C-alpha cells in the first residue's frame, strides 16, 4: 500500500490524516491529500413568475467553498510539517506527501481518481445522506479499490490487532484479499462470524483462519451467538472487546437500498465503529 489517496474536505480532517500517517509509516507510503471544490450549484428559488437561479447565493457558496479549501490546505501543510513528513516528493523507505486540488463533486472525483491508488482513506460519516457518506459509497462502488474509514478519534496504533467480520460473502472475501499487506504485519488476527450473518459462516470462518495461517498469520476463528443483537452490533462489540485497531468488513453484502430501508451490518458499522474499518465491495 504505497500510494494513499486521503480525502481532506476541510480543516477538521485531522483524524483522517492521523490514520493516513499510521498506514504510511508502516508501509513507507506516499500520501496524496485531496480537496475538491464544486463550481456547479443548484440553488433555485421558486416564484410566481417561475424559477430562477440566484447568482448571489452561488457566489456565497463558492466563497464558503474557497474558505474550506484554504483551511484544508493549511491543515495538511501544518500536519505534515509538524510530524516531519516531507511534502512534494516521494521519499524511499519513509512516508511522504503531496497536496492535490480538483474541481467537481467530491464523491464523483474520489470514485474516479481513487482507481489509481492502493488505498483510499475517508472520514466516517457523522450522519446519513451526507457528502461524507456519498464519498464513502462512491469510493466503494466506483473505484474498485479498498477504502479505509478513519475513526472519529485517532488511535495510537493501526493494524496490530485485527478483527475480520466474516459472513462468507464475496465482498468480504475480496476485502480480506485486499487487506493481506496489513494482515501479514499484524500481531493478532481474529476471524469473527456471527450466527445468522451468512451462509455457514461458522464453519467457513474456521476454514478462512486455516487458510490465512498458511501465510504465517497469528490467526484464530470465533463464532458468536448474536442473541438479541444484529450482526453489525456484534461485529463492532467484538472488535471493541478485544481492543482491535482495525475491523475488516466486506461492504454492502446486501443491496444499499435494502440496507437504507431495513438496516444492515455495513450500515451499522459505518455509523457506529470507533476504530478504523477497511471496506471493499
C-alpha cell at 76: 495538511
Residue 278 CB burial class (10 angstroms; 0-12, 13-18, ≥19): buried
- pLDDT at residue number 233: 94
Q: By the 8 A CB rule, do 112 and 16 touch? A: no
C-alpha cell at 244: 482491535
Structurally, the chain folds into a number of domains equal to 2
pLDDT single digits (tens) 170-214: 999 999 999 999 999 999 999 999 987 665 567 899 999 999 999
If asked whether residues 99 and 169 sit together in one domain, one would say no
Across 62-71, 78-87, 92-101, 169-178, least confident range: 62-71
The C-alpha atoms of residue 171 and residue 269 are separated, in whole angstroms, by 15
If asked whether residues 133 and 181 sit together in one domain, one would say no
Q: What is the pTM of this model?
A: 0.90
Domain that holds residue 114: 3-150
**CATH of residue 196:** 3.40.50.620
- pLDDT at residue number 49: 46
What share of the chain has pLDDT > 70, as a percent? 87
If asked whether residues 24 and 81 sit together in one domain, one would say yes
Residue that finishes a domain, picked among 150, 177, 208: 150
If asked whether residues 172 and 70 sit together in one domain, one would say no
Q: Is the pLDDT of residue 79 over 50?
A: yes
Q: Is the pLDDT of residue 258 over 60?
A: no
Q: Is the pLDDT of residue 262 over 70?
A: no
If asked whether residues 116 and 239 sit together in one domain, one would say no
Angle between helices 265-272 and 231-241 (to 10 degrees): 40
Q: Is the pLDDT of residue 259 over 50?
A: no
Considering the domain boundaries, does residue 155 fall inside one?
no
If asked whether residues 8 and 113 sit together in one domain, one would say yes
If asked whether residues 128 and 182 sit together in one domain, one would say no
Across 39-53, 85-99, 212-226, 228-242, least confident range: 39-53
Considering the domain boundaries, does residue 223 fall inside one?
yes
Amino acid at each position: 500500500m504505497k500510494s494513499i489517496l486521503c480525502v481532506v474536505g476541510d480543516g477538521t480532517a485531522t483524524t483522517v490524516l492521523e490514520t493516513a500517517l499510521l498506514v504510511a509509516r508502516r508501509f513507507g507510503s506516499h500520501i496524496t491529500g485531496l480537496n475538491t471544490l464544486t463550481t456547479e450549484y443548484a440553488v433555485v428559488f421558486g416564484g410566481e413568475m417561475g424559477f430562477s437561479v440566484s447568482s448571489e447565493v452561488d457566489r456565497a457558496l463558492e466563497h464558503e467553498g474557497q474558505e474550506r479549501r484554504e483551511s484544508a490546505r493549511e491543515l495538511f501543510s501544518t500536519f505534515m510539517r509538524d510530524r516531519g513528513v516531507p511534502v512534494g516528493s516521494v521519499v524511499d523507505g519513509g512516508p511522504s506527501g503531496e497536496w492535490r486540488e480538483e474541481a467537481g463533486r467530491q464523491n464523483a472525483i474520489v470514485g474516479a481518481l481513487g482507481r489509481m491508488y492502493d488505498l483510499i482513506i475517508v472520514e466516517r460519516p457523522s450522519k446519513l445522506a451526507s457528502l461524507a457518506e456519498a464519498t464513502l459509497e462512491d469510493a466503494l462502488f466506483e473505484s474498485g479499490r479498498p477504502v479505509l474509514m478513519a475513526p472519529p478519534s485517532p488511535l495510537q496504533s493501526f493494524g496490530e490487532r485485527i478483527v475480520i467480520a466474516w459472513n462468507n460473502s464475496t465482498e468480504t472475501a475480496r476485502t480480506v484479499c485486499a487487506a493481506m499487506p496489513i494482515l501479514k504485519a499484524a500481531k493478532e488476527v481474529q476471524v469473527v462470524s456471527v450466527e445468522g450473518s451468512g451462509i455457514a459462516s461458522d464453519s467457513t470462518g474456521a476454514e478462512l483462519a486455516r487458510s490465512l495461517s498458511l501465510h504465517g498469520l497469528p490467526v484464530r476463528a470465533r463464532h458468536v451467538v448474536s442473541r438479541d443483537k444484529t450482526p453489525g452490533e456484534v461485529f463492532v462489540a467484538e472488535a471493541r472487546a478485544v481492543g482491535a485497531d482495525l475491523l475488516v468488513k466486506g461492504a454492502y453484502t446486501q443491496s444499499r437500498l435494502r440496507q437504507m430501508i431495513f438496516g444492515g451490518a455495513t450500515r451499522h458499522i459505518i455509523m457506529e465503529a470507533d476504530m478504523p474499518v477497511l471496506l471493499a465491495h
